[in-house]
Every structure is written in C-alpha cells, then in structure tokens.
Amino acid sequence: MTGDTAVRRAVPRVLIIGGGITGLAAALRVRALDASCSITLVDAAPRLGGKIAGEIVDGCVVDGGADVCIGDKLRATRMFTALDLETRIIRVNPDELPTYERRDGRLQRLPTSFNGELLTFGRGMQEIVDAAWSALEGVTVVTAASVDSLARTDDVWRAESAQAASHSADAVIVATPAHSAAELLFPFAPQEAAGLRALEYPATTTVTIAWRATDVPHPLDGTGYLVADASSRVSACTWTSSKNPSHSPSEIVLLRGYIRGIAEDPVALMREEVSAVLGITEAPLFSRSYEWAAGIPVYPAAHEANVRALGESLAGTPGLFIAGSAFHGIGIPDCIHSGERAAAGAAAYAAARQTEEAA
C-alpha cells in the first residue's frame, strides 16, 4: 500500500450530487450511519432545496413549489424522526373542506378523492429544507457548481466541475434531475441513460396573491378548484387561506394559482382568472411568482421497467448510486426515501472499501 493510498482510505468519502430534498436526506442518512465519513454535497443551484422553495411575506406563508406532503409516507422516513418533525407538522385542510372543478364557467364540487393525511409546516414546506440544512454536521456544501462528468480510476471516483474544484470519493450518489443524471451516467450505462433524456419536465409557474378578506366577494368554502379545460393557461387555483388556515392572518385571503408553462405576466394572468371566477377586482396586497422551467417529471408507461434496467446496468459499477424524483417517485417523501436508500448503499460501500484497505 502506498502512502497516498493509506491517506486516501483513512476516512471513507461520499459525494452527493444534487442538493434538493433527496440529496439533503442522503447526506443526513450517511452521517447517521457513519459519523466518521467525509461527505460533500454539490448542487448547481445557488441554494439548496431544489423545487422546495418559499418565503414569509407580511405574516403569510408562500410556497413556491410543493405545499403539502402525504403524512403516512413522510412519517415512514428516517428524516421524520431524525429532525423531530412530529413537533413541527400541521394538518392540511383541518375543516375537511371540499375541492371544486371549474367546468363550463361554473364551479362544481368534486367527490372526495383522497382519504389520507396531508401535512404542512408552520413556515411551509421550506421548513423541512431549513431543518435538514441546520442538522447537517460536518458536511461540505458546494452550491452554484454543476458536476460535468464522473470517472472512476483505481477504485476512486472523480467528479469534475467547471465552476469548482474536482471532488474525489469512494462512493457517489447522483440525485439530480433526469437530464443531468443522464449525462453523468452515460459512460456507465449508455443505453439506459439515453432513455433518461426523454423524461419530460413540463414548465410550470406558481403564483401566490394576497387580498384583504373584505375584498373577496366569493365564499372560499373549499380548498380551491381544478380547471377541467386542458387548453386553459391556468390549471388550478388553491384557496390557501382555507386549505391551510395557519398560513395567513384571518383578515387576509391567500390564493395560489398554477399556470401551465412560463407566462409573460403570471400575476396579471391569475388576477384575470380570479376576477372572472371569484369576482375579485381590488388590487392585491402582494404577489409572488415562482417559475419552474423544468417542473415535475412526467413518467412514461415504461418508467419502472426503465429504472429497473438502469439499476441492473449500474450494478456492475461499484460505488455509484442513484436517487430522486427522476427515478423513484415525485412526492417529497418519495424523494426522501430514495435518498435514504441510496445513502445506506453508499455508506456501506465506502465503509467496506475502508476495511479492505485497512486489511
């Protein structure tokens, strides 16, 4: 054993590419499994959290991406216990209000379609990202730096980035959107990685607007409405202050619209929508919009088979693991589960490599 190798294997190293909730969950789980492990988390965006984003405006909670998660799935994650999320959760739709559909210019009540528990947090879904970030111990975080390529030489992974220094690791977790993952995985599973490039991420925009309650003439006796017309630019409108009463003071009505694609003026588009449907014509107190050029992935019919084939192909490449919504489900708990499974594999592999070198 050379001196360089001895130093290299003194501490197991795990590199996580992608700082969304999947990457955060993976980092937390690797740290829980191996306190001595060196962990580096790299993300191309300037902030962690991926499509979970939000802010507090005038006492109102604004979610830019997902605004709820499925309770039983979240409770089943390791993160739920590790971050003591039980003390933070808030039940969504506590008054069990119905949901409507806008069809032929009218709001029609829909039958109940979900009987499970939906959860949020006092500061919205951003709170789960903030809690995970605060709990990261001894993790090197690099943002605004995309990993351009992966290579494996002499049992060591090397990740190259144009914006930052290269990274070396014993195990790598790829937790990026499909198109980025495809580029990184192509050298090791070319056929399966090429299929990832075809995964569609339709663009979408969320728009949150606040009004004085006295300026809203329509009763908001529901969680909001879906739009039946698939050609409409607006696909849905959530009555946030009814669905999540904790998210705004009682004197403020908070609405959130979902726009297909990227609109030139999304706020104007939503104001036109709620004026026609809810009769709101007064100027709002504030508005916030979040544009997602690549929104939620839409899985093809063969998605599970494709992911299974990719996993089988990568099985012959030691120390490389995949996780995230590109593979294992689009919900927040699905992403957390995926990151935690990859973390278990990466931590075990890195520890085994350390043991082999020690021997």
Report strand pairing: 167-169 vs 156-160: antiparallel
pLDDT tens sequence across 278-287? 999 999 999 9
Cβ pair 221, 256 in contact under 8 A: no
Can you list the residues of the chain whose pLDDT is less than 70?
Answer: 1-9, 113, 355-359
Count of CB atoms within 10 A of residue 38's CB?
Answer: 19
Beta pairing partners, 174: 17, 322
pLDDT, one tens digit per residue, over 198-238 is 899 999 999 999 999 999 999 999 999 999 999 999 999 99
The length of the chain is 359
What is the third-level CATH fold of 68-123+202-292? Polyamine Oxidase; Chain A, domain 2 (3.90.660)
Question: What pLDDT, on the 0 to 100 scale, is given for residue 132?
Answer: 97
- Sequential DSSP letters for 153-217: ETTEEEEE-SSS--EEESEEEE-S-HHHHHHHHTTTSHHHHHHHTT-B---EEEEEEEEEGGG--
49 Rama class: left (phi>0) / alpha (psi -120 to 50) / beta: left
> Where are the chain's structural domains?
3-50+129-200+301-358, 68-123+202-292
State the pairing for strand pair 69-70/320-322: unpaired
What distance in Å separates the CA atoms of residue 52 and residue 128, rounded to the nearest whole number? 9
**What pLDDT score was predicted for residue 162?**
87
Entry pTM: 0.94
Which residues, listed in sequence order, are joined to residue 62 by a DSSP beta bridge?
55
Identify the pLDDT of residue 163.
Answer: 83
What's residue 3's pLDDT? Answer: 39
Looking at residue 85, its amino acid is L
- Cβ within 8 Å of residue 103, ≥6 positions away: 228, 229
pLDDT given for residue 2 in this prediction: 38
Beta carbons of 208 and 62 less than 8 angstroms apart: yes
Angle at 55 between CA 50 and CA 56, to 5 degrees: 160
> Both tokens of residue 135?
């709990």
pLDDT of the residue at 1? 34
CATH number of 3-50+129-200+301-358: 3.50.50.60
- Look up residue 144 and give its amino acid: A
Residue in the structure block whose two tokens are 């919900």: 331
| Domains 3-50+129-200+301-358 and 68-123+202-292 in one fold | no
Strand 286-292 with 234-238, pairing: unpaired
Cα distance between residue 58 and residue 253, in whole Å: 12
H or E element at residue 25:
helix 21-33
Q: How far is CA 333 from CA 67, 128, 300, 325, 346, in A?
A: 13, 11, 21, 10, 20
